[in-house]
């Protein structure tokens, strides 16, 4: 079945209409908060704030920029690993993140920051961080669909993803009063199950027709390492960006730094042990090394202790690498879930681990470890939840995990259904993972080599070295008919 | 006409002599300021500063490092997009920026920071940021000349560019008292017209002889995306780096973040709608997505409102992409301006938009929006300009824009004339965009493919598949004579 | 002699056992310090600290993240320059750094931060920076061995390297009370001589068998520039990360910024002047441009003056480039030291220069320049060393340099001996610089070109164009026997 992948009307329409909608909604709802408004100087005097440094900007801006790099370079370059889908990986990531952060400022604003006096949302640097966080869940979901969807579908995925995110985040953080500074549950678990369910709904039985493009080449693997490393290095900023000022941010950094280091070693170990000759697999190194950061998301602020962080990283690195080895092939064959980037291994499982670790760590918190004030500050046991005990908090943390999973599954099924409509310009099964569908790609080195190989094979096909040619053919990933048809009359 | 591109004498001579001059001038003029001097502790006591954090270092250092990344990785990698000029793009960017920041510390110091007591320039972190800013204008100018000039010419371009910059900056910021925190006028408009005029003076009528190298290959486009993204992500730091402490920096970040997001969507929209099949063009995505940051340079500190920022990004993304589609070809054919990177679309037009937006926003500022103190702080209505009204300020902003354009045009014409002298080792028209002229480039994959193709064509040229060979030839960008000459006797 | 490079048992064993050991030792020894512990709020009250900003986190976190990027992306990508060892360069760098930072937290903790009351090490952000610093010395040592050792050997190199580092650092900084904020001596000199001595012990007489892989291709050189630039840009953070709060950090940034800029110009100059045609060599640009940062390590905090910094960069850029031109070949031929990345030129010589500059600058410090308090603060002339003069300090600085060299030489000899044991799975001389030994590398473009070339040569070998084939052969770096063996029977 031929598919129409011409998005000349749909993509510009979606971009223009939605961007204009953003402008109107921002005009109606979004204003500067008191720390980014020129009235800050009066606010300072009124609140008796002695220095400009107490502006939240100086607490959070360095972390914000690190998170921003993770969203655009981290996620973007991690998805350049496919040999002919690097433009789509980094480019569509750019597009949907740029849209998503605007929509997230609105959605999260309506749920969390709506000023009841004037019905405005007042934004500052923390809102920007939260918008980046929100978008991360959609970029995770993109990872499952990489190479199989059109940019218009991705915009729809993001529109609904951000909406669902804002609701589940409100339920988990506000209603359940669960803690999730680095978003193991809210971002990773939700985003991963959202993307996996969409991928399941959009199952492509004949995807093997694109198999020759569903892999990396040497340099695309090096590009992907740029993404891996910027995610890995800045993850301490991710998990601490919206943590409590002072010891909260400080501790979140230490915990995440250690968990990440630990998961690198177990990833290398499992990757090596899984091959007959002990050779390492770049897919594992690019992804499972990050599992420690995901799994430390919820508990990063807690007194999990440095060695506790190492244990979390240790386990999540193992689980994630085993996922790539066994679960991804199993899911594709048996469950009909085609997960291009293996987000189940990098985000879903470590995210669930993170949620569980968070629940256990919260339930076992004590005044002897945290100090009386420390316990109250860390878990915000104030106002409506002033009398909550750590055991009950642990229960609510666990409940939050289920909410995240439920939103991912149900939301993914709904959005997957919408994306299945034959109007979005998605590629045929034989044209997946190919930038040529949505990008102007010039003929170049690789195509030249292909052309050359065809010529040679055509010249040699009439003689006895036919067997040798076949080896070449397979290396070039050309099927025989393709070659035969260029034989001269 | 053969050209001598041997720079073995001229490049080392320029580097050595100018670096030694820098050392001497720094020895005479440059000292630490009171915040980077060991007397800081006494200065603190005298000024009753309670904490080390009040050292400007802690306000500005994170932004400085982000700006530094934009200058060297952002601009550098953005210019790696050419298939065989990546070394020159990132390497010469490195060279001239490293020289330019030193010269800028002196030039800007003489104009803005000369201590009248001891005739010394006292430098701190803000001077480093301003030096990076100054150099940015020369790197923009380099974008128009990319691939067509020698590194010696670039050093000359930078020497004069920095000098001109310091003067126009002094006129605009000090004499006119215009505001331009992110440099829409001072950096982008000036730099772009400076580079375009130089490119016009250095017009190469036979540049089409290098056309086979004036494009990208797949991986060079991915490299360029590294530059694009680091520019895009850190642009909020660029526009806020020297903004007022507190709400000024905070607001500049929010405005720039939003304008950039908005221009991404309109860039994708126009890029897609401009092709018959709706395919996206990497050149647009790499460049026009940044237009929002350029256009928000002047007004970033102002109370332009979040939706105002979105509108600025919306328009500048459209204008910039249309520029790549229509203006660049028009300028090359009709105006004889060869603009390799399309800086007219990315810097000149968005820079002018930024200047106009700044003038309008300033002229429409009011005490009701800014607050009395806020208005004074934002526009620095103190001392000599204590009685200036916002309307007059708007006029001075507009005047600043004209000064920037004038300096670009006149300065570019003068420097272009100097660079036209036949002593600088620039490449012949047929050797532009080729790293082989100034770099030791080893034979490698691509050359191997070339060699192979020649062999094959030579073997097949005696038979009937000559027509097919021609197709190959065109893909390989080899003209027929090149092939024929390797035919065996 | 065939070598067994199967590391399927040894690498996982080392990773698992050492990571479990880390967990146990962290469990016994490592705790949060008072600034990252939930008791921070009580600590603040007790110490009368007015704001969360006084938490050291806010002084050091931006620098920490920059240093972290240098360790993983800077060093990692700098080592991707080899045409077929990019995975090993960036991947093994990742592995050993992730292990090393954990071991460094313990080793440095035992020597510097062991709380005598409870025998615990209390960690905060400064410990994380120091751990990254410590690991840098091992990554430098890796540079000399790049492509010639197995990952198991690298883990051993790191285990002992970190151990030796902690001891020499203790001697230099604590016992000798030398200052070395950016680690010219402690990190660079030690790390370089450690690596060079190991490389000397592991001398491979037949390494030329791998010569065809001991070079770069076009795109691998661009990848390496990512490493170069992130090292270059963030070096001011490296040299200031653990400097004194306030003017100390501020001054270290300015000095390093200037020294780096200066060494770029002299590197370009020497690189160009060294070739007949004035062409630049990417190896020089990738490496020697960084020499100014190395050489400014020790004196970065001192009042060396801005022009002093320029002079240091000027000289070290020259020395480093000359090293690449003359010393590296000499060392390989005469001294039997095979230094893949040229760390002798980038780290050893500039490190020694840095140590000497530090000693001279310290010895010539005066109260008239530093101020009375400034002098005491800068050199920490308190407690046991309250009466030390600057001349004596200069002597101790020089002594520190010798300690660093001695530890590098002796430690390298010992560890080299251990690594010479035939149990570590290192590659044969003919298989060095080849990712295929330790990584799953898929057949791709380059191999295709190779395969094609073999076919063509085989077809042409029977005829008169044999001479021409030889040219092709040499370009492809294939020796004739390799080709002949695929000739058909």
Contact B488 C476 (CB under 8 A): no
Residue C278, phi-psi category: left (phi > 0), alpha (psi -120 to 50), beta (remainder): left
Query: How many Cα atoms are found within 13 Å in the side-chain-facing hemisphere of B357?
Result: 35
Q: Beta A120-123 vs A30-32: how paired, if at all?
A: parallel
Burial (0-12, 13-18, 19+ Cβ within 10 Å), A86: buried
Inform me whether the C-beta atom of residue C76 falls under 8 Å from chain A C-beta atoms. yes
Burial string for A453-484 (b: 16+ CB within 10 Å, else e) reads bbbbbbbbeeeebeebbeebbebbbbeeeebe
pLDDT score of B473 more than 70: no
pLDDT value, residue C266: 98
Residue B273 contacts A, CB cutoff 8 Å: yes
Nearest to A306 among C7, C123, C445 (CB): C123
Our CA-based measurement puts residue A438 at a distance from the nearest CA of chain B, in whole angstroms, of 5
Name the pLDDT band for C223 (thresholds 50, 70, 90): very high
pLDDT at C212: 85
Res. B474 pLDDT band, cuts 50 70 90: very low
Helix (H/G/I), strand (E/B), else coil: B256: helix
> To probe the interface with C, which of A244, A260, A279 has the most C CB atoms within 10 Å?
A279
Using alpha carbons only, what angle is made at residue C219 by residues C215 and C220, rounded to the nearest 5 degrees?
45
Overall residue count recorded for chain C in this entry: 489
How is residue C208 written in tokens? 């030329």
C55 inside 8 A of chain A by CB: yes
pLDDT at C139 over 60: yes
Interface of B with C in 15-44 (CB under 8 A): 15-16, 18-20, 22-24, 26-27, 30-32, 35-42, 44
Write down all domains in chain B, each with its CATH number in brackets: 29-40+47-420 (1.10.3430.10)
Tell me the mean pLDDT in the region B288-305: 97
Give per-residue pLDDT as tens, A79-100.
999 999 999 999 999 999 999 9
| Span A222-248, pLDDT tens digits | 999 999 999 999 999 999 999 999 999
Count of Cβ atoms closer than 10 Å to residue C310 Cβ: 29
Give the pLDDT confidence of C26-76 residue by residue, as tens digits: 999 999 999 999 999 999 999 999 899 999 999 999 999 999 999 999 999
Angle at C101 between CA C99 and CA C104, to 5 degrees: 110
Tell me A30's DSSP state: E
Q: Is the Cβ–Cβ distance between C371 and B45 less than 8 Å?
A: no
The DSSP result for C332-356, as a single string, is IIII----TT-HIIIIIHHHHHHHH
C-alpha to C-alpha distance for A232 and A296, rounded to whole angstroms: 12
C305/B123 Cβ within 8 A: no
On chain B, the residues whose CB falls within 8 A of the CB of C315 are: none
Whole-angstrom CA distances from A177 to A302, A379, A392 are: 15, 9, 11
Give the one of B19, B439, B442 whose C-beta lies nearest to C266's C-beta: B19
- Mean pLDDT (whole number) for B313-332: 97
Q: Please state the ipTM of this predicted complex.
A: 0.91
Would you state the structure tokens that stand for residue A302, as one six-digit string? 């807690």
φ, ψ of residue C123 to 5 degrees: the values are -110, 150
Convert C146-164 into a string of H (helix), E (strand) and C (coil).
CCCCCHHHHHHHHHHHHHH
Residues paired with residue B122 on neighbouring β-strands, in sequence order? B31
Nearest-Å Rg of the Cα atoms of chain B is 25
- What's the mean pLDDT in B31-43? 95
Per-residue confidence (pLDDT) for residue A479, from 0 to 100: 39
pLDDT of residue C443: 61
Residue C338: how many CB atoms within 10 A of its CB? 22
- Strand intervals (E) in B202-292: none
Neighboring chains of B (3 or more beta-carbon pairs < 8 A): A, C
Tell me what percent of the residues of chain B surpass a pLDDT of 70: 90
Counting beta carbons within 10 angstroms of the beta carbon of residue B414, is it exposed (0 to 12), middle (13 to 18) or buried (19 or more)?
A: middle
- CB contacts < 8 A, B to C, total 251
Band of pLDDT at residue B381, cut at 50, 70 and 90: very high
Longest CA pairwise span in chain A (Å) = 92
Low-confidence ranges of chain A (pLDDT < 70): 1, 443-489
Q: Please, how many CA atoms are within 13 Å of residue B338, restricted to the half-sphere of its CB?
A: 19
B406 has a chain A CB within 8 A of its CB = no
Signed CA dihedral, B148, B151, B156, B160: sign only:
positive
pLDDT of residue B442: 73
Those residues whose C-beta lies under 8 Å from the C-beta of residue A56, and which sit 6 or more positions away, are A35, A124, A125, A126
Q: Please name which of B83, B89, B5 lies closest in space to residue B447, comparing C-alpha atoms.
A: B83
Rounded Cα–Cα distance for residues B25 and B19 (Å)? 10
Residues of chain A in contact with residue C55, where contact means CB-CB under 8 angstroms, are 246-247, 250
Q: Which residues in B447-471 are b (16+ Cβ under 10 Å) and which e?
A: ebbbbbbbbbbbbbeeeebeebbee
Cα-based torsion angle of the residue sequence A369, A373, A377, A380 in order, rounded to the nearest 10 degrees: 100
Of C15, C40, C84, the CB nearest to A266: C15
pLDDT at B447: 45
Q: Looking at the partner chain, which of A221, A245, A272 has a beta carbon nearest the beta carbon of C12?
A: A272
Give the model confidence (pLDDT) of A106-157 as tens digits.
999 999 999 999 999 999 999 999 999 999 999 999 999 999 999 999 999 9
Q: Which of B125, B442, B447 lies nearest to residue C253, judging by beta carbons?
A: B125
pLDDT in the model for residue B443:
60
CA distance C192 to chain A (A): 24
Q: List the one residue out of B317, B339, B341 whose CA is nearest residue B330.
A: B339
Query: With 50 as the cut, is the pLDDT of residue C233 above it?
Result: yes
Is C247's CB within 8 Å of B128's CB? no
Which residues of chain C lie closer than 8 angstroms to B72, CB-CB? 229, 232-233
Q: What are phi and psi of B22, to 5 degrees?
A: -60, -45
């Amino acid at each position: 079945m031929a598919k129409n992948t011409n998005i000349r009307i749909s993509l510009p329409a979606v971009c223009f209409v939605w961007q204009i909608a953003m402008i109107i909604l921002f005009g109606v709802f979004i204003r500067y908060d008191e720390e980014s408004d020129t009235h800050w100087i009066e606010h300072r005097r009124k609140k008796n704030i002695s220095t400009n440094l107490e502006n939240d900007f100086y607490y959070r801006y360095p972390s914000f920029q690190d998170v921003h790099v993770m969203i655009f370079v981290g996620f973007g370059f991690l998805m350049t690993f496919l040999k002919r889908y690097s433009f789509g990986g980094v480019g569509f990531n750019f597009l949907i993140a740029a849209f998503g952060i605007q929509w997230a400022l609105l959605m999260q604003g309506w749920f969390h920051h709506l000023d009841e006096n004037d019905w405005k949302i007042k934004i500052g640097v923390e809102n920007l961080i939260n918008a980046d966080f929100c978008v991360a869940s959609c970029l995770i979901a993109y990872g499952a669909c990489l190479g199989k969807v059109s940019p218009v579908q991705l915009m729809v995925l993001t529109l609904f993803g951000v909406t669902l995110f804002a609701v589940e985040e409100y339920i988990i953080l506000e209603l359940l009063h669960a803690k999730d500074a680095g978003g193991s549950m809210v971002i990773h678990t939700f985003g991963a199950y959202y993307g996996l369910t969409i991928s399941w709904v959009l199952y492509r039985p004949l995807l093997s027709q694109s198999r020759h493009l569903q892999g990396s080449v040497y340099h695309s693997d090096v590009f992907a390492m740029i993404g891996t490393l910027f995610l890995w290095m800045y993850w301490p900023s991710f998990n601490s960006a919206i943590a409590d000022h002072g010891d909260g941010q400080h501790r979140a950094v230490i915990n995440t730094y250690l968990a990440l280091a630990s998961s690198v070693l177990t990833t290398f170990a499992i990757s090596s042990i899984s091959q007959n000759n002990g050779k390492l697999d770049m897919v594992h190194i690019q992804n499972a090394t990050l599992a420690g950061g995901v799994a430390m998301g919820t508990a990063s602020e807690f007194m999990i202790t440095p060695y506790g962080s190492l244990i979390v990283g240790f386990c999540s690195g193992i689980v994630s690498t085993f996922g790539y080895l066994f679960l991804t092939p199993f899911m594709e064959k048996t469950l009909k879930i085609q997960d291009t980037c293996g987000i189940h291994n990098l985000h879903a499982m470590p995210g669930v681990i993170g949620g569980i670790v968070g629940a256990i760590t919260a339930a076992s918190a004590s005044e002897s470890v945290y100090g009386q004030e420390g316990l109250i500050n860390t878990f915000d046991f104030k106002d409506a939840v002033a009398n909550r005990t750590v055991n009950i908090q642990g229960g609510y943390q666990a409940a939050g995990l289920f909410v995240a999973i439920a939103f991912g599954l149900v939301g993914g099924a709904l959005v997957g259904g919408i994306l299945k409509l034959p109007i979005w310009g998605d590629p045929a099964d034989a044209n997946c993972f190919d930038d040529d569908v949505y990008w102007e790609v010039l003929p170049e080195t690789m195509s030249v080599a292909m052309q050359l190989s065809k010529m040679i094979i055509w010249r040699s096909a009439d003689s006895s070295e036919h067997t040798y040619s076949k080896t070449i053919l397979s290396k070039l990933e050309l099927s025989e008919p393709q070659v035969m048809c260029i034989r001269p009359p």
